[in-house]
């Protein structure tokens, strides 16, 4: 059974181990439409990711750029790049997530010559289209990888390693054609500031916070704080703050008996009516109905 939401820490790093220490590679068969709000929300991981679309249409956001991917398209996402997937309906996106060490150990010639350039060059991603010959080669390899990982026949791990190496050869030979972070409106410094500001928000969301407070937490101007957020996610710092507060409030409604007024105050909202309004906009239901629906579901399971 696939996940319905993605778990991240305060910096939006995904909280899932991909593969094992001995085989740091993981295949996922996922339908974006089955995730909460039909969205695999903002996250990043140190692993590389290769995605192919085999059904439907999916919107992939990287930095401040959005791509519409259709059946037959694919995507490479570099290590450490924040991204998000969303769809209007069913959209199947088999994806392969693997660590830089999957292909070669750190310090080896292969790692230093062919993998390290991707980790230090600022490369962000590349959308793969079948009408471009070298990208079509990768897409064909991805289809083979998907079937190999699904069937898991004899020596499937070796075949997976061979196919990933062939994909990587294409990416390396065409690395100058890949999109850099500068082209997506972001860079390592902006991402670092963004993560530090989100950490500040998540440690201080219970008290009154202003844009000035958030910007000051990393020693930048309000304008620069806004830019760092806009380059990473399509939210302002205050929108991110409210979204995080609502997420915490949702958990308190489900797992505590605190009153709605207490929860609003605990999560930093100065007005219960404002909390109600934002909660309904975010979850398409009221706080009270959200809590009662959970109780009804639990009761039904017990019965």
The Cα–Cα gap between 77 and 128 comes to: 11
pLDDT tens, residue by residue, 262-299? 999 999 999 999 999 999 999 999 999 999 886 655 44
Do residues 263 and 250 touch, judged by C-beta distance below 8 A? no
The Cα–Cα gap between 139 and 137 comes to: 5
Is residue 194 classed exposed, middle or buried when 0-12, 13-18 and 19+ CB atoms within 10 A define those classes? Answer: buried
Class of the CATH-defined domain 25-184: mainly beta
pLDDT tens, residue by residue, 202-238? 899 999 999 999 999 999 999 999 988 887 777 899 9
pLDDT tens, residue by residue, 95-154? 999 999 999 999 999 999 999 989 887 788 999 999 999 999 999 999 999 999 999 999
- Residue indicated by tokens 């009804």: 296
DSSP assignment of 23-56 equals: S-EEEE--BGGGSGGGEEEEEB-SSEEEEE--BS
The DSSP code for 184 is: G
Q: Where are the domains of the chain?
A: 25-184, 188-302
Mean residue pLDDT of the chain comes to: 90
- Tokens of residue 233, six digits: 């996610």
Looking at the chain, the whole-number percentage of residues with pLDDT higher than 70 is 92
Do residues 107 and 100 touch, judged by C-beta distance below 8 A? no
pLDDT tens, residue by residue, 83-111? 889 999 999 999 999 999 999 999 999 99
Q: Which helix (H) or strand (E) covers residue 199, if one does? A: helix 188-204
* pLDDT given at position 190: 80
DSSP assignment of 136-177 equals: HHHHHHHHHHHHHHHH--TTHHHHHHHHHHHHHHHHHHTGGG
3-state DSSP assignment of residue 180: strand
Do residues 10 and 43 touch, judged by C-beta distance below 8 A? no
DSSP assignment of 221-278 equals: -HHHHHHHHHHHSSS-HHHHHHHHHHHHHHHHHHH----HHHHHHHTT-S-HHHHHHH
What is the rounded radius of gyration, in angstroms, for the C-alpha atoms of the chain? Answer: 21
3-state SS, 54-117, equals CECEEEEEECCEEEEEECCCEEEECCCCCEEEECCCCCECCEEEECHHHCCCCCCHHHHHHHHH
Is residue 65 classed exposed, middle or buried when 0-12, 13-18 and 19+ CB atoms within 10 A define those classes? Answer: middle
Tell me, which fold does domain 188-302 have in CATH?
Answer: Arc Repressor Mutant, subunit A (1.10.10)
């Amino acid at each position: 059974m696939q996940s319905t939401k993605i778990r991240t820490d305060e910096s939006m790093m995904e909280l899932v181990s991909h593969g094992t220490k001995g085989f740091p590679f993981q295949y996922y068969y996922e339908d974006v439409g089955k995730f909460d709000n039909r969205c695999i929300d903002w996250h990043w991981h140190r692993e590389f990711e290769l995605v192919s679309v085999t059904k439907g249409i999916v919107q992939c956001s990287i930095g401040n750029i959005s791509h519409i991917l259709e059946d037959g398209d694919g995507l490479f996402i570099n290590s450490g790049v924040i991204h998000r997937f969303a769809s209007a309906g069913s959209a199947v996106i088999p994806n392969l997530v693997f660590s830089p060490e999957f292909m070669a150990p750190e310090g080896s010639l292969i790692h230093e010559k062919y993998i390290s350039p991707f980790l230090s060059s600022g490369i962000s991603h590349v959308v793969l289209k079948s009408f471009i010959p070298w990208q079509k080669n990768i897409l064909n390899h991805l289809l083979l990888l998907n079937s190999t990982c699904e069937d898991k026949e004899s020596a499937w791990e070796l075949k997976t390693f061979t196919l990933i190496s062939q994909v990587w050869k294409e990416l390396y030979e065409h690395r100058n054609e890949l999109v850099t972070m500068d082209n997506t409106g972001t860079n390592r410094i902006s991402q670092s500031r963004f993560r530090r500001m989100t950490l500040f928000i998540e440690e201080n969301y219970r008290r009154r916070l202003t844009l000035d407070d958030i910007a000051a937490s990393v020693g930048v101007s309000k304008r620069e704080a806004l830019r760092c957020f806009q380059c990473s996610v399509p939210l302002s710092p205050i929108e991110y703050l409210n979204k995080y507060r609502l997420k915490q409030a949702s958990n308190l409604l489900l797992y505590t008996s605190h009153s709605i007024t207490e929860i609003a105050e605990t999560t930093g909202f100065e007005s219960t009516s404002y909390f109600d309004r934002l909660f309904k906009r975010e979850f398409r239901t009221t706080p009270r109905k959200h809590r009662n629906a959970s109780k009804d579901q639990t009761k039904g399971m017990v019965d």
